Amino acid sequence: MKKLLMLFCLVSSISALAQEWKPLFNGKDLQNWAHAGDGKFVIEDGMLKTEGGMGLLWYTPQKLENIRLKVVYKGAAANNAGVFIRIPEKPTEAWMPVNKGYEVQIDDREDEFHKTGVLYSLTKAKATPGKAEGWNEMIITLAGERTQVHVNGVLVTDYKEGDIVPKKAKDYEPDRGPRPTAGYVGLQNHGGDDVVYFREVSYQPLRK
């Protein structure tokens, strides 16, 4: 009985360790990150802060797939930003990630196709759980061709490649078409008046 208990504790510990969140942003500097496009990100009190735009800060070491990506942010009640996923190539300018990857919107002011948690202009928000004050937690699950987005524990987007999307209506909306299962990830800085803070950017491999 004692051996079984020890084995159970060992398995539980290994499982918990495998599910720990791995930080992409270390809270100190921009190691492993690069910026493309206009504007920039600065570090303020251990947080990433958007300045100017339009551009993006992207994670350089590797493409990511079959993960849960956690982004903890504030400022969406009156500002615009985003999280880029499934970027097929290393970004050298701001528009390729828009048109070839997906932008998960951060902006609580817009309509249901342009609101926090949607794939910008492609999916309709299933809920609007963003908090105007304080921190919000976004979890983006990339499972093969499926993309799910939860904001503060509430499902906002559940999309699979090939699902019907609205036609492109404006020139700044992304091109339609399939995205890769593996891609670079990044954070958007949108415009000179938009200020959004990011406290945590981390990921967790999906269990096989």
Cβ partners under 8 Å of residue 6, min gap 6: none
- Residue 73 pLDDT: 98
How far is it, in rounded angstroms, from Cα 192 to Cα 134?
A: 22
How far is it, in rounded angstroms, from Cα 176 to Cα 158?
A: 17
Domain chopping of the chain, boundaries: 30-205
Tell me the pLDDT tens digit for each residue of 11-62. 443 444 457 999 999 999 999 999 999 999 999 999 999 999 999 999 999 9
- Strand intervals (E) in 27-169: 33-37, 40-44, 47-51, 55-59, 67-74, 81-87, 102-106, 136-143, 146-151, 154-160
The percentage of the chain sitting over the pLDDT mark of 70, rounded to a whole number, equals: 91
Tell me the pLDDT tens digit for each residue of 125-139. 999 999 999 999 999
How far is it, in rounded angstroms, from Cα 47 to Cα 26?
A: 9
The separation between CA 180 and the C-alpha centre of its own chain, rounded to angstroms, equals 15
Q: What's the pTM?
A: 0.90
Lowest mean pLDDT among 5-9, 33-37, 109-113, 137-141: 5-9
Residue 29 CB coordination number (10 Å): 9
Q: Which CATH class is domain 30-205?
A: mainly beta
